[in-house]
Structure 1
Amino acid sequence: MTSAPPVQLISLGSLSANLLWNEQHAVRTGHATCSSIVQDDTLTLVNPGLPPAAMASRLHERTGQMPDRVQRVFLTSVDADHARGLEAFPDATWLAFPPELDAARERAESERDAAVEHGDEEHAESLARHLTALEQIVPTEEGPAPNIDLFPSVGVTPGCCGLLLPHEGQTILIAGDAVASQAHLLAGQILPCLDRKMAQASFTEAIEIADFIVCGRDGMIPSPGRVPESAGPGHTLPSL
């Protein structure tokens, strides 16, 4: 008799602009797929990308649990698409991979200093609040609970990091934006990024190592085990 997987989808994500649909600019608010993991009575939420009220509502609809039941929140990326709903879980420990946090802080500090230099007080104050929020996220190089391992997938962001967990002799990977959707997987496409080579390597490794993948903007899908032969070259943005 098989048991239910420890990963449950809370909300399906969406891209603000999907290049596979020929969308060249934002046409909706992007948000990451949110999922929950229950291991040894520890409830971990991954990527609460919806606003706090919506996130709390979806959690209750999908699990019957209230926000104060969540002990840990793990972010595969710290951008708004993945972290918009963090404030719904003030009692939880917020976690992210150190390189992702370091890069986000460095970027925010640079933008804040530039805003101050140009006299843009409103933007500078907004960035200061963002930096304060980043300080509440704890850097971690360990999984959020027993039997959950970090799976660094650098490329789409400087410190994108998924979670790898076993289930009945197979592996489930919560991939974040390293694998955006089933359509992206089948087309061999990565999201726009600054480091195409590393993103493509992370994309390939995710497909090869996992039996099931929770995509960054889609549901949980079986992995084909290798990048499809029909895969395209991947989308990327020019390096800055």
Structure 2
Amino acid sequence: MQVFSVAGLPDFQPGMDLSQAIIEALAAQNTELMAGDILVIAHKVVSKTEGAVIDIEQVTPSDEAIQLAAEVNKDPRKVEVILRQSSRIIRSMKRPEQEEGTIIAEHKLGFICANAAVDESNADHVGQLITLPDDPDASAMNVCNALEKHFGCQLGVVVSDTFGRPWRLGQTNVAVGLARVPAITKLDGSDAWGRELKVTAPAFADELAAASGLLMSKDGKCPVIIFRGLAWQASESKAQDILRSKREDLFR
């Protein structure tokens, strides 16, 4: 397997053609995509090109946002955007030693994460908030289709974001949008010692997203990572296929 970044990508703005920018950057590297390549793309560049950015100065906080903001010491305008992106707030708290508290929310797409994935990092200017794309799976498929048409081969695309993990410190990239890439791969049969495999189902898309983080640094401007040489079968998976159903949630 080879893993490499696409160098020389521009600073993306609303309305820019992400697929064309990838094609031009690869050409500058004298590189072409090959059948079976999978691209992991940071959602920030997808969100920016699609205009999923909000100027905090244009936001008027609701009474709910003002109250929650006071509890966690956040800008009520940012909290208002978090609420708009959420289907529910799961937990919020602020410890005495924290400057800002934590809001854990269920995003309206079903992902459970801090601040409903509303983020200020890699924004173009202070006061700009970046949200998830409205439909990350559709975004991934649009890029995938454009690249497949140009390079004449089957590809896969994962749109990633950075989430924390329950019961573990630190963050890792996870899949929030998929095109052709299987969300889960189920391992049937037996392990290397002949034991029957009953519940082994690697989260293939999340594994790709996590691995991309090794090259996708916050300050490196490397939002597109290519995986080459993996064995995988194209699927119609959606990112929501990774989410555990509510009836299986032991902590609700």
TM-score between both structures, scaled by the size of structure 2: 0.27
TM-score between both structures, scaled by the size of structure 1: 0.28
| Higher Rg | 2
Bigger RCO of structures 1 and 2 (CA < 8 A, at least 6 apart): 2
